Amino acid sequence: MGNVVQLRQTPSNENRKVTRKPVGGRRYLTEREVERLAEGAKKTGRYGDRDAALILLAYRHGLRVSELVGLQWSQVDLAAALLHVTRAKNGTPAVHPVTARELRALRALQRAANGSPFVFNTERGASMTTDNVRKVLSRAAEAAKLEGPSNPHALRHACGFTLANKGTDTRTIQAYLGHRSIQHTVRYTELAPGRFKGLFSD
């Protein structure tokens, strides 16, 4: 339900209209909201621990939903605490460190995997679908009474904004999120409130 805007007339005097996404409105979650979402996921059924781990990994590594459902155990090095991230949309791959909290979640998932090659799998061992993930997030948001956005890309944006708010330089964020162009990364640093800290003091 975007706004319809009138474009400049072409030489043939034909008027064209395009539908745009509404300007404004937050498209990311805060770190605290991600935690609430993960806690909400634990309350939603028998796969609560898997779904909470899914939210944690998507957020911590800025994964797109297709990268998340395609994540395989061959990309996870539990001994070295590393995650080999393969990016979609011609993004640049990277190797991310994995925290102790993530390792605990991943080890629990691996014990329950029953030989499935996919980190986030169904009870039949197949990979979850992108629609599965959207439903997981919707249920978790409802359980957490979360008012912010609860779509998969909000978690990727949350990762970028969290890194920017911590003062991470733009090039590092670009490499971490796998952006080919830095223009996709600067939105995080441009909107980070921390960049204006200390401009005025009492």
Q: Within 13 A of 31's CA, how many CA atoms are on the CB side?
A: 8
Nearest to 143 by CA among 28, 25, 45, 27: 45
Any domain includes 200: no
pLDDT at 151: 92
Question: Which stretches does DSSP call E strand in the chain?
Answer: 3-6, 17-20, 76-77, 82-85, 94-97
Beta bridge mates, 20: 3
Q: What is the dihedral of CA 189, 154, 84, 87, to 10 degrees?
A: -80
Any domain includes 151: yes
- Reading the block at residue 123, the tokens are 């009870």
pLDDT at 190: 80
- Reading the block at residue 80, the tokens are 């070295």
DSSP 8-state class, residue 96: E
User: Tokens 């014990």, residue?
Assistant: 111
User: Tokens 């197949």, residue?
Assistant: 126
* pTM (2 d.p.): 0.81
Any domain includes 161: yes
DSSP 8-state class, residue 121: B
Q: What amino acid is encoded at 26 in this protein?
A: R
Domain that holds residue 177: 31-119+127-194
Any domain includes 183: yes
pLDDT at 198: 67
Any domain includes 94: yes
Any domain includes 20: no
Q: How many domains does the chain have?
A: 1
User: CA distances (Å), 25 to each of 22, 64, 157, in order?
Assistant: 8, 20, 13
Nearest to 62 by CA among 193, 200, 162: 162
Any domain includes 55: yes
Tell me which residues of the chain have a pLDDT lower than 70: 1-25, 193-196, 198-199
Catalytic residue numbers read 64, 89, 153, 156, 179, 188
Any domain includes 25: no
Q: Residue 92: give its domain's CATH number.
A: 1.10.443.10
